[in-house]
Structure 1
């Protein structure tokens, strides 16, 4: 196209970017004012606590609050710089070159990376719409596999958005006791449920304070904001104490300002309403996403999640889809997605993950329309 005044060729204006890639909330649903107030309160109420080094166990009042929330003594809790730091410490404790580990297929890409970097022998088990295939887990165990741990994201799994059923939670626990392996319950999305009824944590089903087979991880990134970088572990005191030593040798103490701010925020009067606002917004977005996928990509299969940030889309395997080509075509149209191949050791070429947490409802349909064009173009 040529500008009639200048005679110069004009390039078409690129479409406004729409990202379904990153699992983070859009700023409009983060309670920025409430966090400002909580930060001020942290400095005013406990200046020594938030400005000092502290200890590797985390900010003591927050640690106490977490312990009370889960009904365990404080020595069962370690507060970390985000739940990924908690994951890393646990993997450092349990995974060596050749260590057998069970995970879901697909699973969070950073989980795969962390386990493989440590030389773990990763056994991916089929993820069904009601969670990991426990029959497949049992068959592996009966066949002689002896994993050090099984990593499971039970609620609104990343990347699929699926939730582990109560019956499967109970069977997994029974297998963990029978074959003596650790269940790592990685649960950052549990409090972001917008439909359906909550299910008990496996930590609770195993006795809470008396649990010996479960280590539980959670995060405030999804309920407060991702930039706060505060997560935690709950587990047997002997395990927590070994990880405390690792934490001490890694950073002496985690971020006390962030943890003090989180404590003031979650114990204040703004947090309940702010969390409800997040859940309401996410429910609206996933509703629009569901309708848009059915309209623009009727050949796709997916399950509408009851909470969390993610939805997994599969295209018919017999149509020869190439997700790398789809990603390229989508990017050219101003849409970003994450290919299914990122969450698997092999396969996933006909699938991708959509994160709806960071896109406002008014642009979801346009994003899916462009994505459908990308799918068609990639096949052509």
Structure 2
């Protein structure tokens, strides 16, 4: 690419690309203590194969957290494994599936690789456009599943409003499809008021139309790779069979560590550290964007890791060129096209979770220079 700036060997890469926390906000000491406690308290359970439903004490802890019987819960190797198991059940070849536009790129990959008939519905600042969903259903679409990331959505950072949560449940009951509530970011809210889960609104232990997924990657650390599903026992049992045939049992050591950490006295302070750090970083990012990219539009999130930026459509932006120019200047972003089946050339996702506060302004300044270079 002619005219592209060359990164100096001394230039430190500033990455807004990866949705993961920086090590300084992870309670490493607390995790070390939790690991020791796990081996001390349950050496047989930690070192054995375990069961396909996951580490039994953690499974019960999750069931108690959500107010459901244990047979509604299955613990997996990360929430992406939970997603994959559910997709294997409901997103089979030709099955109609509704999801948000834009949505997590791995969700799109997982659905399309299984041959699902994917219908992307506009994502508004208060969540998926529910009346657009209703129009699809009234037009004859019979989905097996609707996938929604309700809190601090990846990639947009938007949160589904309470009214839309109720409306989605009405549609799921009326048209008899599974509402997949994919919710890994719910516990890292740093401003605003929390909203009830659709699992709870559908009756918790009596819920028939919601399968809920979450993860400990965002509240503990990504390296533990522990996620889970909560749903009707019949679906959970079918997925248990898949889990047995896939890996016999998930990682007992990691799940036992998570269990000890979550029930220990360090977790509340560790979670506050994460939320405080993310709040600071998103505030700095908000200021930097308004300073260096005043033409951009975005909504400041109330939690999570991500912020979605759109540039004016009439200026003919090419996000692939912007991404390349940004990388040449030592800043990494993810193009909006990664989260859509079509479109997104004027948009990109910024993850602020791993960026040090001192780097935020400089990163956005470099990005602004990259956008200007790409236009030329």
CA contact (8 A) 1:14 1:333 kept: no
Alpha-carbon distance in structure 2 between the residues aligned to 1:40 and 1:275: 20
CA contact (8 A) 1:76 1:240 kept: yes
Alpha-carbon distance in structure 2 between the residues aligned to 1:242 and 1:134: 29
Q: Is residue 67 from structure 1 mapped to residue 63 from structure 2 by the alignment?
A: yes
1:121-169 Cα shifts (integer Å, max 9, x gaps) = 0000000000000010000000000100000000000000000000000
Shift of 1:13: 3.3
1:222-257 Cα shifts (integer Å, max 9, x gaps) = 000000000000000000000000000000000000
Which of these residues, 287, 293, 297, is aligned with residue 291 of structure 1?
Answer: 287
Shift of 1:12: 4.4
Structure-2 residue corresponding to 1:337: 333
Which of these residues, 1, 13, 37, is aligned with residue 17 of structure 1?
Answer: 13
Alpha-carbon distance in structure 2 between the residues aligned to 1:44 and 1:167: 47
Please give the TM-score of this superposition, normalised by the length of structure 2.
0.98
Alpha-carbon distance in structure 1 between the residues aligned to 2:8 and 2:219: 40
Q: Is residue 146 from structure 1 mapped to residue 142 from structure 2 by the alignment?
A: yes
Which of these residues, 72, 92, 106, is aligned with residue 110 of structure 1?
Answer: 106
Alpha-carbon distance in structure 1 between the residues aligned to 2:93 and 2:29: 47
Shift of 1:14: 4.4
Whichever of the two has the greater Rg, that structure is 1
Alpha-carbon distance in structure 2 between the residues aligned to 1:14 and 1:226: 29
Structure-2 residue corresponding to 1:38: 34
Q: Aligned residue pairs: how many?
A: 370
CA contact (8 A) 1:76 1:234 kept: yes
Structure-1 residue corresponding to 2:225: 229
Q: Is residue 308 from structure 1 mapped to residue 287 from structure 2 by the alignment?
A: no
Alpha-carbon distance in structure 2 between the residues aligned to 1:248 and 1:16: 45
Q: Is residue 241 from structure 1 mapped to residue 223 from structure 2 by the alignment?
A: no
Q: Where does the alignment leave 5 or more consecutive residues of structure 2 unmatched?
A: 1-6
Please provide the CA RMSD for this pair: 0.7
Structure 1's 43 and 12: CA in aligned 2 closer, same or farther, altered over 3 A? closer
Structure-2 residue corresponding to 1:8: none
Query: Where in structure 1 do 4 or more consecutive aligned residues deviate above 3 Å?
Result: 11-14
Q: Where does the alignment leave 5 or more consecutive residues of structure 1 unmatched?
A: 1-10
Which of these residues, 47, 58, 61, is aligned with residue 51 of structure 1?
Answer: 47
Q: Superposed, which structure 2 residues align to 1:1-380 within 5 Å?
A: 12-380=8-376
